[in-house]
Structure 1
Amino acid sequence: MKKITDFFWFCSGAHIETLKKYPTEHNKYVGIGATIFFTALFASLSGGYAMYFVFSGSSAAVLFAMLFGVIWGLAIFNMDRYIVASIKKTGGSNQQIYQALPRILLAIMIGIVISRPLELKIFDKEIRQKLKTSYLNGQRSKIDTLNRAFSDKYSIELAKFEELKSEKDSLEKDINRSRYILNQEVFGDKTNQTSGVTGFGTYAKQKEAIINQKEARLIQVRNDIQRIDDIINRRKEMEGLNSTLLFNEKQLDSLANVAGFADRNYALGQLSFNPDGSRDVDTYLAISFISFLFVLLECLPVFVKLMSDKGPYDVALQNIESVAIHNSEKEKDHKIVVTDNTLDTLNNAEIDKKKILIERRVKKDLEDFS
């Protein structure tokens, strides 16, 4: 327990040697340190999970995820430790709040960042289903776009193809009706289109000749339809229409498994909306509460430090810092005095040296003059 306590004291950023002298403060800083540690642990898991999807599909994805998770967790740990340690219990409440405000804003941002990847994991099944729907709709939209582009590009061929199909259908119906009338003519059924004479007479031969002409035209139309259909299929193959198909369930599962962080993040955002575009309040609140939980967890050490009363440890730490500042200023003043004395000594030595040089020069001039 002593090692665990010392570790959490280290996590809280406290001055351990000073903190040991005040037992009433021990539990408070154990709680602060534990909160900072577990926040960093969640950040490590969150960052590693996010990086896993960045390198998804690579054989080294797990290794990169673990490495980045450790680095990200240590960075958040160091930042939280600095935030809490930098809040001093000196001054009034307003001054402390003003001092902690930038750190609270930073803690909120960190909480939002580390909560997002964990939300992706919590709503993994719903995200996969949303991704499948999104990929299927995207593929359907792609096929529709290709079909529209193909129709615009080959509008003449397609119009001719539809015209021939309409003519084929019309000829087939007309031939069937003409054969029925021919049978009535042969069997002597009297109608407004038959003579009523039994046998294969002149009228029957005329009707058969018309049917033969229509059948010959039908054969030509069918050949033209087959020729244009072959041309259209070759063009579709060239344009990629035949190879672009809707995804099956297996393909959708595979795409959802290798989906990147951006796609999963977008799908998570879409979970808060119904298909008609209205807000899904239940899902929105569930996702928001998870974000609020991590934001609160990240801000908790700062709030604990602000809400706690000024204890003996804070007073002792303030005194230690005041003594250290006083000694530093005293040492600085001493260095300034020593520097000034040294300068005075150097200046005096320089003056004496100049006097000696002048005396030597005067003595030499007098010798030369004599």
Structure 2
Amino acid sequence: MDKLNRFFWFCSGAHIPTLEKYPSEQNKYTGIGATIFFTGLFAALSGGYAMYFVFKGDDLAVIFAIVFGFLWGAAIFNMDRYIVSSINKSATTNKQLLQATPRILLAIMIGIVISRPIELKIFDKEIKERLKVSYLNGQRSKIDTLNKAFEKKYQVEFGRLNQQKATRDSLEKGIKSDRQKLNFEIFGNKTTETSGVMGYGPYAKRKEAEIKQREAELDSLKANINKSESFVDQRKQFDGLFTEKLYTAKQLDSLANIAGFADRNWALGQLKFNADGTRDNNTALAVTFIGLLFIFFECLPVFVKLMSARGPYDYATADGDEVAIYQSKKDKDFHLEVADNIHETRVDSESSKKKEIIKGKAYRDLERHDWDS
């Protein structure tokens, strides 16, 4: 436990030798350090999970995820440690709040970044189902778009084919009606168009001949329709319409499993809405509260440092800082004084040398004058 406490003190950014002198302060910094450590741990898991989906399908995806997760967690841990340790408890309350405001904003941003990949993991099953629906609708829309574009491209051929089909339907309906009338004539059913006399008479023969002629026309028309449909099928085959089919359940599972981070993030946002477009308040609240939980968890060390009263450790570190600053200024003044003395000594020495040089020159000039005389 002693080693664990010391590790958490290190995580909190506290000065361990000073903190050891004040047992009443140790639990506070153990809690702050533990919060910072677990925030970094969650950040590592979150970053690694996100990076895994970025490189999913690559043989080195797991290695990339581990390396990036470790680096991301270490960066967040170091940032949190600096944020908490840089709050000066010796300052006034307003100044502490002013110091903490940018740090709280930064903590909120970090909490949002950390929470998103973890939310993706929590709602993994729901995200996959929403992705399946999205992929299926997208494929259906793609097929519809290709078909509309194909029909527009071969508008004349489709118009002729539709007209032939309409004529075929009309002929089939007329033949069916005439065959019913022929049966009425043969079996002696009296109508406005039959004689009511049973037997295969002249009217029945004429009616049967008309039916055979129309059936021949119908056969010829069907042959033309088959040719037109065969041409359309060939064009569809050439344009690749037959290769585009709706995904099977197995294909949808595979697509959902290999979905990237962007698709999964989009699907998580879509979970807040039902299939009919109405808002799903339950899921929306769940996603929101999970995000707020991580934001609060990230801001918690800063809040604890702000809410805690100024204790003996804070006084000790503040006094130590003042002593260090005073000693640093004193050393600086001492060095400056020494430098000034050295400079003055150097100036005096140079001045003496100059005087001696001048005296020596004057003496030589005097000797030269006496010699000349």
TM-score higher than 0.5: yes
What SS does the aligned partner of 2:317 have? helix
CA–CA distance in 2 between the matches of 1:55 and 1:197?
87
CA–CA distance in 2 between the matches of 1:94 and 1:367?
83
Equivalent position of 2:2 in the other structure: 2
Q: What is the one-letter code of the residue matched to 1:237?
A: Q
TM-score for both structures, normalised by structure 2: 0.90
Structure 2 vs 1, CA of residues 172 and 345 (structure 1 numbering), >3 Å: closer, same or farther? same
Deviations 1:9-28 (A, max 9, x none): 10010000111111111111
CA–CA distance in 1 between the matches of 2:12 and 2:43?
17
CA–CA distance in 1 between the matches of 2:195 and 2:8?
113
Equivalent position of 2:19 in the other structure: 19
Equivalent position of 1:328 in the other structure: 328
C-alpha displacement at 1:237, in angstroms? 1.7
Equivalent position of 2:47 in the other structure: 47
**Alignment of 1:274 onto 2:274:** yes
Q: What is the one-letter code of the residue matched to 1:57?
A: G
CA–CA distance in 2 between the matches of 1:278 and 1:207?
63
CA–CA distance in 2 between the matches of 1:366 and 1:141?
118
Equivalent position of 2:338 in the other structure: 338
Identity of aligned residues (%): 59
What SS does the aligned partner of 2:213 have? helix
The worse-fitting range, judged by mean Cα deviation, of 209-218 and 293-302 is 209-218
CA–CA distance in 1 between the matches of 2:329 and 2:69?
44
Structure 2 vs 1, CA of residues 283 and 180 (structure 1 numbering), >3 Å: closer, same or farther? closer
CA–CA distance in 1 between the matches of 2:210 and 2:361?
147
What SS does the aligned partner of 2:88 have? coil
The worse-fitting range, judged by mean Cα deviation, of 272-281 and 78-87 is 272-281
Structure 2 vs 1, CA of residues 231 and 342 (structure 1 numbering), >3 Å: closer, same or farther? farther
CA–CA distance in 2 between the matches of 1:365 and 1:278?
115
C-alpha displacement at 1:288, in angstroms? 1.2
What SS does the aligned partner of 2:284 have? helix
C-alpha displacement at 1:148, in angstroms? 1.4
Which aligned pairs between 1:219-298 and structure 2 lie closer than 5 A? 219-298=219-298
**Alignment of 1:58 onto 2:58:** yes
CA–CA distance in 2 between the matches of 1:205 and 1:274?
67
Structure 2 vs 1, CA of residues 360 and 283 (structure 1 numbering), >3 Å: closer, same or farther? same
The worse-fitting range, judged by mean Cα deviation, of 166-175 and 110-119 is 166-175
TM-score for both structures, normalised by structure 1: 0.91
Q: What is the one-letter code of the residue matched to 1:268?
A: L
Q: What is the one-letter code of the residue matched to 1:79?
A: M
CA–CA distance in 2 between the matches of 1:25 and 1:284?
41
Which aligned pairs between 1:100-139 and structure 2 lie closer than 5 A? 100-139=100-139
C-alpha displacement at 1:221, in angstroms? 1.3
C-alpha displacement at 1:220, in angstroms? 2.2
Aligned residue pairs, count? 370
C-alpha displacement at 1:207, in angstroms? 4.0
CA–CA distance in 1 between the matches of 2:180 and 2:23?
112
CA–CA distance in 2 between the matches of 1:31 and 1:65?
29
Structure 2 vs 1, CA of residues 187 and 113 (structure 1 numbering), >3 Å: closer, same or farther? closer
The worse-fitting range, judged by mean Cα deviation, of 213-222 and 149-158 is 213-222
Equivalent position of 1:163 in the other structure: 163
CA–CA distance in 2 between the matches of 1:183 and 1:284?
70
Q: What is the one-letter code of the residue matched to 1:27?
A: N
Q: What is the one-letter code of the residue matched to 2:330?
A: K
Equivalent position of 2:31 in the other structure: 31
Deviations 1:162-210 (A, max 9, x none): 1111111212222333344455666777755457788777655554543
Q: What is the one-letter code of the residue matched to 2:145?
A: T
Structure 2 vs 1, CA of residues 197 and 299 (structure 1 numbering), >3 Å: closer, same or farther? closer
Structure 2 vs 1, CA of residues 358 and 200 (structure 1 numbering), >3 Å: closer, same or farther? farther
Q: What is the one-letter code of the residue matched to 1:239?
A: D
CA–CA distance in 2 between the matches of 1:186 and 1:81?
104
Structure 2 vs 1, CA of residues 333 and 178 (structure 1 numbering), >3 Å: closer, same or farther? same
Equivalent position of 1:84 in the other structure: 84
Structure 1: tracts of 5 or more residues without a match: none
Structure 2: tracts of 5 or more residues without a match: none
